[in-house]
Structure 1
């Protein structure tokens, strides 16, 4: 089983149809993409000397070469390690080192940071900048036949959320990725070869997973020239491409629903907007449905079970006359076709509808484990079920509502932020004696990072600019706290453990109080 077979299949059936586009410009037809993939496979295997199972990381913003590299990695029998291009150099270094990455494909924007890691990571042998002379050298290699892979072989290492220590690499197999794609057809939307997927969100995250079912059906992958989500640009692309679907975080949808360039455009070619990754306020969703129409579908998933736990379909979003419509809009939908989902107590015993517990999931889409981390694998997959760490409840109709995350993960602007790494960055400052990082509700970003700081004994209160600089030296800019609060002490339990729940409750109460006092229009 090798997903790269899709390229050859479409090259035979629709050789001159557009496969990859940048804006309105066609970068490659299906025949061209298949030919380039075969040449890159030769470059990876022969020119770079990579062997079956070697890891190849992709560190770049969304661009056509990203997709070409990803499928060539698979065709060559290698394992793709998509890395969030917004990460700090040291964070990228951790992922490359932990995964044992042998080669990196990157772009000019990240070339300096990535190239500087050669010689510091034992496994890392080479860095290829795309586009560029080294990339062209790979493309000029003699075409190499596809390397057969088994369904249970690793295809993608997804470095996913963790709230203690470093992020873990969820090992996604070819079977996992195929099942995720088939599940899309079953539960979300049919796809035809005349459709397209707009890759506006990072390909290293959910957007990359959502691109797979579209590639599988021969739809065009469109990369926006802006590299992001822009209402005017999307409006222009809708005039050029038909059957458009794209994935967006709730914060992106909120912006688009208020963007006059998109709201006032001809939306006939806008097929679906898939959202997930963070809670979406009911008022924002209702406004988006009103301005952009019944084109929304919600997913709830994790890196360990890509885009597949539950879903709320377009039809359910549009069913406004249902007596429980608002309740359903605030849920994450019903279990997907290919999984079993349970809500359990602390002993993993099933709970009845209405009772809150941890969400567990089982199915062929669930990862076999974490890369090089047997202890975390055993803990997370105990009893044969993925323990999500999310807390929720089913209603009597089978709709799942998430009530909280037992993990302390912060999701801001659709990006995962791990509090401990922010705390560790702040603790490097000598004037910080103790710190707790959590999220507060934010109408624009979903959550904003807040740091509660206790000044070290005998030190003067640190300047917030100094604390921000301490973060920027060690972690990505988007993880930096948006607010610093100086406190005399942090709430703890009888064992001395910091109780972040109290801090979150305080921030939530403040946000609710502020919302109640906002002037009405």
Structure 2
């Protein structure tokens, strides 16, 4: 049994109950089930067979959610096509993924050609879910050949803890072709919850309205999205039963603010495209009188193995990808272990802490020591007048790299000498910034992560 079987079990009961809401579309369970089979039939009529690759370039719509499900229903290979790259990189991604066809939603974007989602539905032919399928996800931020993470069905799906969760009203804020959005939409479908889709480009105004109108009790953010909501004049009150935050570093000050606003329901998750669920720090375990509990990403999922090797975080388990498409599987190259690219450590109680992404570490000083930019980012937002911060490496002839800050302020003038002194007092001379740029906003990827690569590119 796979998650598709679990979804169909819900869609065949209580047919008048709402299943998926997005934009102006509201689908009941019966309507969603009918459209699922029609989309699957449309794929079959166009020649898609089990094992075939289908690339999807779609946004957050009920039809797109069901399209993704239809590919898995047929035993296909679902390839998520992200919006971030330009046309040349998208073509390289699709060519490398070796797909049979591409399905596009022209309302989402027109960078690539393919079958139009709106023209795809065929007849409502009922089909038994295939026992096997594949998901291929773009890892983002690469140059040269795209990297495509391959995931096979999680054989624990039938006993997945999420499947036994009570049905709620879930709001998906990130793209459904991104790891967090795909996980949220899947969780909603396998629990029989009402899935409410936020717009393809996050908007705090829309979130506040949907949270109120749809009586949302469960949601997921990447940190910049949550910050926008917390700063919004109509930020919801303590209506949530669960909030998950993950996908990029979370400032402890902001986590504290979220818990104080919504209660001990804010859970900090740690995962990535290649390893979808590594650990979770439940909000109920956070002790606001112990600041260190605001920094940890919790203890590893019981089904996952996590090791620290020379400071780097390595993981193995059922949530880890099979490997990259076109490359040998991890089982052959590293006995199933995957290097996350994160730098971290365990404390004496078994809690995992992340210092930085290895690519974001700033190597500076006369002895080429490591500055963990995440620690600096987290400290800077505790200073008066600073709303958001990103520390990056700036090339330097003498030291190789020096610390440069990009800051979003609340309008106050920042005294750089005073700021620099505060950093040195808190983190030491190695962390002393050599320059600062005030910006109206930090650049973000389409899924809401701070784009430090773009900031670094400003110095080239």
TM-score class, shorter-chain normalisation, is 0.7 to 0.9
Counterpart Cα distance in 2 of 1:236 and 1:408: 36
Residue of structure 2 in register with 1:360 after alignment: 314
Asked if 2 retains the 8 angstrom alpha-carbon contact of 1:2 and 1:75, the reply is: no
Of 161, 176, 179, the residue aligned with 1:203 is 176
Measured after TM superposition, the shift of residue 490 of structure 1 is: 8.7
Counterpart Cα distance in 1 of 2:327 and 2:304: 24
SS state of the match for residue 174, structure 1?
coil
Relative to structure 1, is the Cα distance of residues 221 and 451 closer, same or farther in structure 2, using a 3 angstrom cutoff? farther
Measured after TM superposition, the shift of residue 337 of structure 1 is: 2.0
Asked if 2 retains the 8 angstrom alpha-carbon contact of 1:58 and 1:82, the reply is: yes
Residue of structure 1 in register with 2:190 after alignment: 216
Measured after TM superposition, the shift of residue 449 of structure 1 is: 7.3
Residue of structure 1 in register with 2:250 after alignment: 280
Measured after TM superposition, the shift of residue 396 of structure 1 is: 0.5
Of 355, 364, 373, the residue aligned with 2:327 is 373
Measured after TM superposition, the shift of residue 12 of structure 1 is: 2.6
Relative to structure 1, is the Cα distance of residues 161 and 61 closer, same or farther in structure 2, using a 3 angstrom cutoff? closer
Of 278, 286, 309, the residue aligned with 1:309 is 278
SS state of the match for residue 297, structure 2?
coil
Of 56, 59, 68, the residue aligned with 2:57 is 59
Relative to structure 1, is the Cα distance of residues 174 and 446 closer, same or farther in structure 2, using a 3 angstrom cutoff? farther
Counterpart Cα distance in 2 of 1:366 and 1:403: 21
Cα deviation digits, residues 311-348 of structure 1 (max 9, x gap): 1002123x334xxx311211111111211211123xxx
The reply on whether 1:507 has 2:400 as its aligned counterpart is no
Of 125, 141, 145, the residue aligned with 2:123 is 141
Asked if 1 retains the 8 angstrom alpha-carbon contact of 2:34 and 2:124, the reply is: no
Measured after TM superposition, the shift of residue 407 of structure 1 is: 3.7
Measured after TM superposition, the shift of residue 447 of structure 1 is: 3.9
Measured after TM superposition, the shift of residue 399 of structure 1 is: 0.7
Relative to structure 1, is the Cα distance of residues 409 and 93 closer, same or farther in structure 2, using a 3 angstrom cutoff? farther
Residue of structure 2 in register with 1:8 after alignment: 8
Residue of structure 1 in register with 2:115 after alignment: 128
Cα deviation digits, residues 139-171 of structure 1 (max 9, x gap): 233515235223xxx421011156664331111
Counterpart Cα distance in 1 of 2:202 and 2:391: 20
Relative to structure 1, is the Cα distance of residues 113 and 230 closer, same or farther in structure 2, using a 3 angstrom cutoff? closer
Measured after TM superposition, the shift of residue 310 of structure 1 is: 1.1
Counterpart Cα distance in 2 of 1:61 and 1:363: 30
Asked if 2 retains the 8 angstrom alpha-carbon contact of 1:162 and 1:409, the reply is: no
The reply on whether 1:254 has 2:227 as its aligned counterpart is yes
SS state of the match for residue 175, structure 1?
coil
Asked if 2 retains the 8 angstrom alpha-carbon contact of 1:339 and 1:362, the reply is: yes
Residue of structure 2 in register with 1:108 after alignment: 106
SS state of the match for residue 8, structure 1?
helix
Measured after TM superposition, the shift of residue 91 of structure 1 is: 2.0
Measured after TM superposition, the shift of residue 518 of structure 1 is: 9.2
What are structure 2's unaligned runs of at least 5 residues? 363-372, 382-386, 409-413, 423-460
Residue of structure 1 in register with 2:352 after alignment: 400
Counterpart Cα distance in 2 of 1:114 and 1:509: 34
Measured after TM superposition, the shift of residue 247 of structure 1 is: 1.6
Counterpart Cα distance in 1 of 2:315 and 2:155: 14
Asked if 2 retains the 8 angstrom alpha-carbon contact of 1:279 and 1:446, the reply is: no
Counterpart Cα distance in 1 of 2:389 and 2:56: 28
Relative to structure 1, is the Cα distance of residues 143 and 513 closer, same or farther in structure 2, using a 3 angstrom cutoff? farther
Measured after TM superposition, the shift of residue 11 of structure 1 is: 2.5
Residue of structure 2 in register with 1:244 after alignment: 217
Counterpart Cα distance in 2 of 1:383 and 1:239: 48
Of 83, 88, 105, the residue aligned with 1:90 is 88
Of 397, 415, 419, the residue aligned with 1:517 is 419
Counterpart Cα distance in 2 of 1:449 and 1:43: 48
Measured after TM superposition, the shift of residue 406 of structure 1 is: 2.5
Counterpart Cα distance in 1 of 2:93 and 2:262: 38
Asked if 1 retains the 8 angstrom alpha-carbon contact of 2:394 and 2:404, the reply is: no
Counterpart Cα distance in 1 of 2:174 and 2:19: 18
Counterpart Cα distance in 1 of 2:185 and 2:256: 26
Cα deviation digits, residues 416-459 of structure 1 (max 9, x gap): xxxxxxxxxxxxxxxxxxxxxx999596666477775xxxxxxx
Matches for 1:462-481 after TM superposition, within 5 Å: none
Asked if 1 retains the 8 angstrom alpha-carbon contact of 2:392 and 2:405, the reply is: no
Asked if 2 retains the 8 angstrom alpha-carbon contact of 1:344 and 1:359, the reply is: yes
Residue of structure 2 in register with 1:300 after alignment: 270
Relative to structure 1, is the Cα distance of residues 384 and 81 closer, same or farther in structure 2, using a 3 angstrom cutoff? closer
Asked if 2 retains the 8 angstrom alpha-carbon contact of 1:238 and 1:267, the reply is: no
Residue of structure 1 in register with 2:334 after alignment: 382
SS state of the match for residue 274, structure 1?
strand
Asked if 2 retains the 8 angstrom alpha-carbon contact of 1:191 and 1:214, the reply is: no
SS state of the match for residue 176, structure 2?
coil
Residue of structure 2 in register with 1:335 after alignment: 300
Measured after TM superposition, the shift of residue 278 of structure 1 is: 1.5
